[in-house]
Structure 1
């Protein structure tokens, strides 16, 4: 059965140097602009709110303490003012929104992906399972609880951030849950053209292997922002290139020209009939799988730092979950 969902992959620049809410306001305005174009699903870049920690890529650890602390102050609490703003914009426009944020949970920051349904409800909050290279100085590790696909007004959606796409078992965990649409997020404005080239290969391969649509968003830095972040002309180069905002069909085809420079959005209509067309030929978690030979073990329990023993006749309150405070 054919079903059409209009998707938008968003490539915009963050708002730097404000109270941390400027980028969130820009997200909400972009949601409204995209909704006017008939968009049902929109994807924003990795840790876009308040901004990706580009400073950590070009500074040694002993120099970035002040900027790391500043990111703590501007990071997103879930739920909180930022998620309330975005949820309301999603609800008002009736759109599904996938947003990357720096989440603060007490003393740790996380690279977090949030999926808002068209009602404004948060369907999924997941944390990047392994921060990459320089990112390990910034974020903590996520857990398997977020490796799941959710039903939304736009279809069954899964999400991974950046180099999580180089973890084949993480991708397979989502594939086994039958993604209709895979939402990918990368920082953009990083590493150079080779990053964009690698990104294209990765995204198109996942679309083919999983038989789903892939909507990918990368961020963009203006020349002024590059100069402000680097503080040194010799360090500006690593903050250019690496943008590949695109939408891919289950057959691995780019559904619109990708965006590799500047702000904008890539919009395409996703015809779900193409999912069945692809999977009739190759369903990697169905008729093309060999579970008696190869299978995946996944632990989907949230990570906890404390486990309470129980007395036979005594009920003990569960351990605090993230962002809960003891009475």
Structure 2
């Protein structure tokens, strides 16, 4: 018998409810229940799936986006809140690690945020996309490097990035250097066209090879009726099709199940951690294959503070990482005040 753990994982391709947070949350809870029936221990949902990815921002001119942007504010997720508590409770009930993207509202700003709930229901990671891409900059604020960290969970060491953050090699290397075993990638899906899915394929397989970890990638899906609800212009509707590639990749860069590129559904795979050592024996990018005396990465991991010197009782810190989630307590990681140098 192998001493290496084997983790049952699921990547979800799913359409949101474009009308309400409650509708999308209902779909999330149902999918977790369905996955649990197949013995899933880790499930990954798409980028900003709660309440929905702002597809409107890709096809509408800025002058026309106001009503939809304000509606997104209304439906966005506060962390912590009843919404996050509900997901945490479901994760605990099903003894499952849940990774999901949300539109996070922090007072007057929205952020592209990734949440990782442990199988205990505890929220063990909350991070914000460091640079929204292109049209997204009209919607979300920028994150910082305080969330660029790998966390221990019931299924192993987990790291996460959203969409084109995977084109930032330094962001990826920061997670590699923390020895992630499972990388959770999230993309919006139903965007740009088939080329987006093809680019995704290259990106996630390369990260698996370079990091020597498993990559679980989840993308969203829009139905034809939803596409028509976003735009009545056939040319713009074309930009809301394709771009899906829900996949699970091994440390050797291989698909562990056929990728899902159309429609809703799951893909499942068993992650055999023996493959991590098998890959890293040959090439460990943050170990024996590195040259730290020639190349190294320096990270400013300090949490962004917009005002310094305010009385602590008046400072709202909803973007701190939650250590005692079920008690509703927020705690700052003191390591965020340090500048970290990671050798290459």
Structure 1 length as normaliser, TM-score? 0.95
**Counterparts of 2:159 and 2:48 in 1: how far apart (Å)?**
17
**Counterparts of 2:172 and 2:150 in 1: how far apart (Å)?**
11
8 Å Cα contact 1:307/1:319 also seen in 2? no
> Runs of 4 or more off by more than 2 Å in structure 1?
231-234, 316-324
**Counterparts of 2:318 and 2:261 in 1: how far apart (Å)?**
37
Q: Which runs of 5+ in 2 are unaligned?
A: 320-344
Residue by residue over 1:231-285, the C-alpha shift from the partner in whole angstroms, topping out at 9 and shown as x without a partner, is 2223110000000000000000000000000000110000000000000000000
**Counterparts of 2:318 and 2:46 in 1: how far apart (Å)?**
24
Question: 3-state SS of the aligned residue for 1:290?
Answer: coil
- 1:24 is aligned to 25
8 Å Cα contact 1:43/1:217 also seen in 2? yes
- 2:174 is aligned to 173
- 2:16 is aligned to 14
**Counterparts of 2:203 and 2:235 in 1: how far apart (Å)?**
30
Taking only aligned residues, the RMSD between alpha carbons, in angstroms, comes to 1.2
**Counterparts of 1:318 and 1:149 in 2: how far apart (Å)?**
30
- 2:7 is aligned to 5
**Counterparts of 1:246 and 1:288 in 2: how far apart (Å)?**
27
Structure 2 length as normaliser, TM-score? 0.90
Residue by residue over 1:32-70, the C-alpha shift from the partner in whole angstroms, topping out at 9 and shown as x without a partner, is 100110000000000000000000000111110000000
Query: Offset of 1:93 from its aligned partner?
Result: 0.1
Query: Offset of 1:323 from its aligned partner?
Result: 2.9
Question: 3-state SS of the aligned residue for 1:185?
Answer: strand
**Counterparts of 2:7 and 2:37 in 1: how far apart (Å)?**
15
**Counterparts of 1:76 and 1:150 in 2: how far apart (Å)?**
22
- 1:322 is aligned to 317
Residue by residue over 1:107-128, the C-alpha shift from the partner in whole angstroms, topping out at 9 and shown as x without a partner, is 0000000000001000000000
8 Å Cα contact 1:308/1:318 also seen in 2? no
Matched, 1:264 2:259: no
Q: Which runs of 5+ in 1 are unaligned?
A: 310-315
**Counterparts of 1:51 and 1:16 in 2: how far apart (Å)?**
6
8 Å Cα contact 1:306/1:319 also seen in 2? no
Query: Offset of 1:23 from its aligned partner?
Result: 0.3
